Amino acid sequence: MPSDAPLLSNSLSAAQIAHLEERAMFVRTETLRLIAIAKVGHYSSTFSCAEIFSVLYNDTMRLRRGEPRWPGRDRFLMGKGHAAVGLYPLLADWGFFPASDLDSYTRLGSPLGDHPDMRLVPGVDFSSGSIGHALSGGLGMVLGGRMQKQEFDVYVLMGDGEMQEGQVWAAALSAAHHKARNLIAIIDRNRFQLDGRVEEVIGIEPLPDKWRAFGWEVHEVDGHDVEALALLLRRLKADLTRQTPACVIAHTLKGKGVKFMETEPGWHLGYLAPEDEARVLAEITGKGDAA
Amino acid sequence: MSGPITSESLSPATWQYRQLNARAPSLSALADALIELAEAGEPVAACTGDLQYSNGLIGFARRFPERMVQFGISEQNMVTAAAGIASTGMIPYAATFASFLALLCCEQIRTDCAYSALPVRLIGHHAGISLGFYGTSHHATEDLAIMRAIADLAVVAPADGAQLAAAIRATVRYPQPIYFRIARGHDPVVYPKNVAFELGRAIRHGEGSELTIIACGSMVHPALQAVTALRAAGRSVGLIDMHTIKPLDRHAVIAAARGSKALLTVEEHNVLGGLGGAVAEVLADIGGAPRLRRHGIEDSYSLIAPPTHLYRHYRLDAEGIEAVAREVMA
């Protein structure tokens, strides 16, 4: 588990890898459980970034248990706020609020809605929902920290469809200009958005070239390989020579872990009846017949 | 021509123009107030979007360069980033033309600043039709209506540089975001330096049994002149400087409604949804209210002209306000 003294070795033990994989599975099973309360939700968008959540909150980020407002903490923002259902269980895991609060997900007056709300949910560093704002918000946090001589890292998770929003590129341009070296953008490159394939809706390639052209250091990684993800994010955290912000393009599968969601688009927003939910749970956990 | 420009290298008229523009009193008041607060240990910061000379924040940037962020022409990015800055404990003052703030950045203000309850200060300068012949893209005659509809956002329209400085000082620790609507920086002086300011508490400039004028921002000065002329002519006319549009000083409105036969709101704004709209809502709530005339831009786009010509055309100068007041009292 991370602490305020980050452990930045360049390898992970088998136990560490197993733990990160287990936490990713936890994100998926909790997502299933919570969406069953709402009876509609973003399964596949959350499954594609489950490993990213797991690695950030169990290996990369400097956080303090039970102290969601610790000023020195690393920050996390979600441009793709609709995947917040996968974040909430990890925040509860850090003791930012009681895990029993998760049971109120989306019910009348609950702090936990489809999109994350910093005003209501301890541990949520920035509210989101309207796609394209988060990178600007993250840049502001870096600049605000710099004014106060605080050197925390700021991680901004964005969807690949989000690259179509102009404010992302305004933020990218100004972050590079201001040498926001502790700003790390992670793009969940799952290749789908609501209306279909990203490349068919409004193509965004060549994506790495675009970020490089905007002055960012660019890395590509398998977004479901917890070891590769963790090592890359450790390297970026440890690299004090970098003068530019860094962009991690995480290649992922929308709906990862559930075969019919991986192979068939249209699960951006979905509902699973109890019997299908049980089937999906068995597939995710590897328990029982996934067919 | 090479080297620094001096009064010798330019014609007197060109030089005079440059000097005038370098001296915008209201907008130097913004930077001066922020410098004072920063020197007093307040965690204030400033953000600009390629307008640091127009809004005078260059003065703050020279004194506290590490507290100033230049965002270039990316206003939405600036406003969201200001929310991020505020989330770390700083108090950012993000300035751009009022039209860009209210219209281009409306969602960033609503969702990232107001809904998130972050103490961002939004400085909408060159508000109303003060940009004259630059045209509708640069006019803000909707900003009060838009900002007023956003929950948890305070809306303040100071009358001059002294009141702006006072408002900034008085609200520095206000826990929620504030929209400050200010003019060009060539505002005539209404108040002395160090005038008192209390958010949501209007300033009364005398009472009147025939009429109370309720004005805000740039309209306070000409309204004062109009009131002076009317009183000199024996009319009983009062004036309220409603510098805070939200939260509105309902007591001041109700007191005026009880004490005057008629009310006249004056704003450099569409007559829909701004100061006049806010006052009308109060009057509708209390019932039995006196006649109200909402004076401003009549739900249309402003003509193009130099600002003073526009104020005359729309009867938003002292003579125009006086004439409208006489109509209301007739």
pLDDT, residue B2, reads: 59
Same domain, B131 and B217: no
Same domain, B219 and B292: yes
**Strands B244-246 and B154-156, how do they pair?**
antiparallel
Same domain, B123 and B167: yes
Q: Nearest CA of chain B to the CA of A147: how many Å?
A: 6
Q: Which residues in chain B are contacts of A81 at CB distance < 8 A? A: none
pLDDT, residue B22, reads: 61
Query: For A195-234, what is the HEC assignment?
Result: CEEHHHHHCCCCHHHHHHHCCCEEEEEECCCHHHHHHHHH
| pLDDT, block means (10 residues), chain A with 291 residues | 55 97 98 94 95 98 98 97 96 98 96 96 97 98 97 97 98 98 98 94 98 98 98 96 97 94 83 92 81 42
- The total of structural domains in chain B comes to 2
* B303 burial level (CB within 10 Å; 0-12, 13-18, 19+): middle
Same domain, B176 and B219: no
Same domain, B146 and B270: no
Q: For chain B, first and last CA: distance in Å? A: 61
Question: How many angstroms separate the Cα of A100 from the Cα of each of A34, A87, B156?
Answer: 12, 15, 43
Contact B82 A150 (CB under 8 A): no
* Residue keyed to tokens 């703050």: B60
Domain around A180: 14-285
pLDDT, residue B135, reads: 93
C-alpha closest to that of B245 among B98, B27, B28, B35? B98
Same domain, B101 and B143: yes
Any domain includes B190: no
Any domain includes B186: no
pLDDT, residue A290, reads: 43
pLDDT, residue A269, reads: 84
pLDDT, residue B152, reads: 98
Same domain, B161 and B46: yes
B216 contacts B143 by C-beta, under 8 angstroms: no
Q: Which of B66, B81, B92 sits opposite A137 (nearest CB)?
A: B81
B252 contacts B203 by C-beta, under 8 angstroms: no
- CA dihedral over A265, A267, A268, A269, signed as positive or negative: positive
Tell me, what CATH number does B155's domain have? 3.40.50.970
C-alpha closest to that of B92 among B133, B127, B64, B53? B64
Same domain, B91 and B160: yes
Any domain includes A279: yes
Q: What is the pTM for the complete model shown?
A: 0.94
Any domain includes B5: no
| pLDDT, block means (10 residues), chain B with 330 residues | 72 80 70 97 98 93 97 98 98 98 98 97 97 94 98 98 96 98 89 96 98 98 98 98 98 97 98 98 92 98 95 98 97
Q: Which of B74, B78, B89 sits opposite A148 (nearest CB)?
A: B89
Same domain, B20 and B162: yes
pLDDT, residue A5, reads: 46
Any domain includes A52: yes
Any domain includes B189: no
By C-alpha distance, the chain A residue nearest B109 is: A133
Q: Which residues in chain A are contacts of B86 at CB distance < 8 A? A: 140, 144
Chain A interface residues (partner B, CB cutoff 8 A): 71, 118-119, 125-127, 129-130, 133, 136-148, 150, 167, 170-171, 173-174, 177-178
Q: Which of B130, B146, B181 is the last residue of a domain?
A: B181
Same domain, B225 and B105: no
Tell me, what CATH number does B288's domain have? 3.40.50.920
Question: How many angstroms separate the Cα of B17 from the Cα of each of A98, B32, B55, B132, B233?
Answer: 64, 22, 17, 17, 38
Any domain includes A94: yes
Domain around B308: 203-329
Any domain includes A5: no
Any domain includes A117: yes
Tell me, what CATH number does A43's domain have? 3.40.50.970
Same domain, B79 and B221: no
* Residue keyed to tokens 């004259």: B132
Residue B67 touches partner A, C-beta closer than 8 Å: yes
3-state helix, strand, coil in chain B (%, to 5): 45, 20, 40
The verdict on ipTM greater than 0.90 is yes
Any domain includes B1: no
Same domain, B87 and B158: yes
- The total of structural domains in chain A comes to 1
Any domain includes A290: no
Distance CA A253, CA A255 (A): 6
Any domain includes A127: yes
Q: Nearest CA of chain A to the CA of B176: how many Å?
A: 12
